[in-house]
Structure 1
């Protein structure tokens, strides 16, 4: 099957006979003061390059074989929003400040996020740059960018706009005062808009499937009143994660292809999909939730029971909301879902006290069979900042695994204060 170059990548990983892994490309950045931290939004990988965005205004690509820097481009200001999506041609997008901004006391300002940049991960080439219309109110807290086939879409609370991937031509825009506003998009196979409406002083939400070329809604699902936060972790099949009362997700809601309610799955106090939108406007990412064609997979909270697994992954049927299977973790070795690889689930298992190796495993949802994808050892000092998906990006691409902390910090134990930016694992020779 021929894949469209501007379609969103859905890589199917090959399982090797020998899952033994070894340390591959590593990227440490020097020059940081002790305990100095910087946000590092965005991690993208291809067969050639692993790239990272640093919040202070750079995007850098590193050769996955050598760990040498292949390219760097500087932005005019801070990174404001990133997307996890990558095209089949290896391209992605970020939103940044068009000019460096500071508050009166000299601290970096968090507004002015009005520039979208579409770039090639392999080469670092900026394919195009576009200025968002009337985006003075766009900040790192309300700006969101995503992609679907041929289209880059951005929302910033008071407006939204979409651009063609090939030339950055603006397809449509919605700006100005309105009772209902696009506050974010979920991309991938389709484009869903999360819309916030003010009714009688209370916020209410609706989710719409949007035509990427016109911005016109194809269907609308109205979220129940009283919901405080909504996340959209999957556009096709449509899945919502909603929080009633605060930012803690209380339910997952599955919809059919016409936006009609299929099932509600209570999270209770047992499951934690790790959804968060504190910065960088991410509404479509829940770090411990993966949605497949027929089932979704969510991690449980940590267990304190003796002689039991640290946690587990539960699968739920999208049509009925009923539990399908339980995939056990190990003692002191939590397990988290990462992404789908065809009809298999890729999951990450931390190294534990009694298990010296970390692992990415492939799980068959139909049989519960677990097959090692890559087994690798980590330094004993490697902590949750690179193994916990709420604190790190864990990317599996083209046979390699990349662990990338979302905040990089100078190492107080190192005389050069080196900060780990990316740790790569690859198949043993």
Structure 2
């Protein structure tokens, strides 16, 4: 698999899978007001779901999983970073899910006899005669089936076993892992109890009927607009996209641009002193957000600048409200560098390997900055949205101790603390309310996803509610190892975490599929929730819509993608948008990789955009490369 664009060796790592998130009602990128009570406790009890669930390894013979997005890569010495998978670079487009290789005929289904060959024994077909012949109840001795009857019965048995195996693969749990999947209730905490959302993954809605997304009168979509990639000479971050009530907003080169949401015409542009390097996934109710950007524009002699400025943006008016840098006692006069930035209420929090700082959203006044620590501890990153939490790292580089703290967003004072178990080098905050953390404990995931377990934590006390194993061969969500708030393809709501399963063989002759399932955040057990993507489609959550889940379905080679709403109570799916199946439109839609793209959906419109772009390869000069493609319901 082609690897994503890598930052130059003298730049801090951008982070990759191995460490956008839920908007409030009103759409992906829509705001939520600052909560009166920043943290809430999960329900004391939760219904025990029926046993079973998705979970077996892929069938023998299938290729091994490739490293996920962000898996650490090192370019060969003397070579520039290579563009990432999902950035159209002129290479021949790979066929969609379930499409046979070019020049080959579609393969027959599993167990189908090959041309010119006799039927092969199917899965589960008896390979040795039964030791005891069938004895009828009348006692008259064994009766032999005719040859034709034997063939019919054998074929029926093989079909039943194949279908049964497929159903078990998609819906059953692994009894061998039953002990591992049981809820862990060990506290493991060193803390004491102390007194507007964009793409946030968390949501406090519950049950059905609480979503705000309505079904358009016609769900058949058309292309709203397509924006070409700006020309760059090096790997450039264009992370950040938001939806307001008047504009679709997207990061460009040294600017942030507001577009007409239906036409794609430019409404306004915010010029930045340097290239954007981090963007908050959250907004306030009046469409204010935060970004981090480089100290100056890149030049031929200085191709890379330090990411050391934080600013607040008013996306309603298209203005930058303020921007500033901070210094720390440990860094002298040099401004602190940041890797990420988030927003909770009126607190802008930015962090990196030199520690974290916070500012007042409206005035830019400092609320806290990196402090001298005798024990070598520092804030590596924050999770925002409905509340504020931090991943704090202490100890040696090769033997760190991570602590998850719920913070007072005004003062930065810890409200509670939970010590992560040994063997955790990086942790990601999936949601702040409820407080959910992902980590790859002991690097056991093995697939570069950054997730081996989820930790559901009581933010009020710092006690671990449950630890949920998420085997890499079963589940497909991803988190970047070096960025605290970067998890995607999952959602949190209804006191549950919703995960996509890994792709597996579908019921058709060819083509993969998958499901979305959920775990209870109090018991840690898999619930009975299950939404099937359908034959040749694969799906993953985008965000919560009240108590419902908004999900995107990646299409097969001859269809357009879909956006669906999954009822949080019944798990019934409702199609909100179906993109065109024309070849040129499909090519544009599928040129984006789900691992490297931002998806925003609201009010019948879907926007897919790149998060990182690079200089085109010579072989791709004649191919169209898109920064954004947008679809709208008729």
Instruction: Answer with 168-177 or 118-127: which moved more.
Output: 168-177
1:184-199 matches, cutoff 5 A: 184-198=381-395
Residue 548 of structure 2 is matched in structure 1 by: 344
Residue 380 of structure 1 is matched in structure 2 by: 586
Work out which of the residue numbers 448, 451, 465 in structure 2 matches 1:262: 465
Structure 1 residue 321 corresponds to structure 2 residue 516:
no
The verdict on how the C-alpha distance between 1:122 and 1:215 changes in structure 2, with shifts beyond 3 A counting, is same
Structure 1 residue 275 corresponds to structure 2 residue 473:
no
1:386-425 matches, cutoff 5 A: 386=592, 388-408=593-613, 419-425=625-631
Q: Give the Cα–Cα distance (whole angstroms) in 2 for the partners of residues 26 and 145 of structure 1.
A: 28
Q: Is the 8 A contact 1:411 1:417 kept in 2?
A: no
Secondary structure of residue in 2 paired with 1:347: strand
Structure 1 residue 208 corresponds to structure 2 residue 405:
yes
Structure 1 residue 303 corresponds to structure 2 residue 501:
no
Instruction: Answer with 227-236 or 197-206: which moved more.
Output: 197-206
Q: Is the 8 A contact 2:34 2:386 kept in 1?
A: no
Q: Is the 8 A contact 1:32 1:419 kept in 2?
A: no
Structure 1 residue 367 corresponds to structure 2 residue 367:
no
How much has 1:237 moved relative to structure 2?
0.2
1:70-110, Cα deviation, whole Å (9 max, x unpaired): 222332223221111122111211101223467xx946335
Q: Is the 8 A contact 1:30 1:416 kept in 2?
A: no
Q: Tell me which structure has the larger Cα radius of gyration.
A: 2
TM-score by length of 1: 0.88
The verdict on how the C-alpha distance between 1:68 and 1:277 changes in structure 2, with shifts beyond 3 A counting, is farther
1:223-245, Cα deviation, whole Å (9 max, x unpaired): 00111221001001000101123
Secondary structure of residue in 1 paired with 2:426: strand
Unaligned runs of 5+ residues in structure 2 are 1-24, 26-30, 36-195, 199-210
The verdict on how the C-alpha distance between 1:349 and 1:305 changes in structure 2, with shifts beyond 3 A counting, is closer
The verdict on how the C-alpha distance between 1:232 and 1:421 changes in structure 2, with shifts beyond 3 A counting, is same
Residue 172 of structure 1 is matched in structure 2 by: 368
Structure 1 residue 90 corresponds to structure 2 residue 293:
no
Q: Give the Cα–Cα distance (whole angstroms) in 2 for the partners of residues 4 and 82 of structure 1.
A: 17
Q: Give the Cα–Cα distance (whole angstroms) in 2 for the partners of residues 352 and 186 of structure 1.
A: 35
1:16-95 matches, cutoff 5 A: 16-29=216-229, 31=231, 38-54=236-252, 56-95=253-292
How much has 1:116 moved relative to structure 2?
0.8
Structure 1 residue 357 corresponds to structure 2 residue 560:
yes
Unaligned runs of 5+ residues in structure 1 are none
Q: Give the Cα–Cα distance (whole angstroms) in 2 for the partners of residues 315 and 305 of structure 1.
A: 20
How much has 1:285 moved relative to structure 2?
2.4
Flag the structure with higher strand content: 1
Greater RCO (CA < 8 Å, at least 6 residues apart): 2
Instruction: Answer with 417-426 or 156-165: which moved more.
Output: 417-426
Q: Give the Cα–Cα distance (whole angstroms) in 2 for the partners of residues 30 and 97 of structure 1.
A: 18
Work out which of the residue numbers 318, 323, 326 in structure 2 matches 1:124: 318
What is the number of residues matched between the two proteins? 414
Q: Give the Cα–Cα distance (whole angstroms) in 1 for the partners of residues 381 and 591 of structure 2.
A: 27
Q: Is the 8 A contact 2:308 2:325 kept in 1?
A: yes
TM-score by length of 2: 0.61
Q: Is the 8 A contact 2:237 2:276 kept in 1?
A: no
Work out which of the residue numbers 395, 418, 423 in structure 2 matches 1:226: 423
Q: Is the 8 A contact 1:243 1:251 kept in 2?
A: yes
Q: Is the 8 A contact 1:337 1:348 kept in 2?
A: yes
Q: Give the Cα–Cα distance (whole angstroms) in 1 for the partners of residues 308 and 435 of structure 2.
A: 29
Flag the structure with higher helix content: 2
Work out which of the residue numbers 338, 342, 345 in structure 2 matches 1:149: 345
CA-based RMSD of the aligned residues comes to 2.8
Q: Is the 8 A contact 1:94 1:116 kept in 2?
A: yes
Q: Is the 8 A contact 1:309 1:330 kept in 2?
A: no
Instruction: Answer with 208-217 or 152-161: which moved more.
Output: 152-161
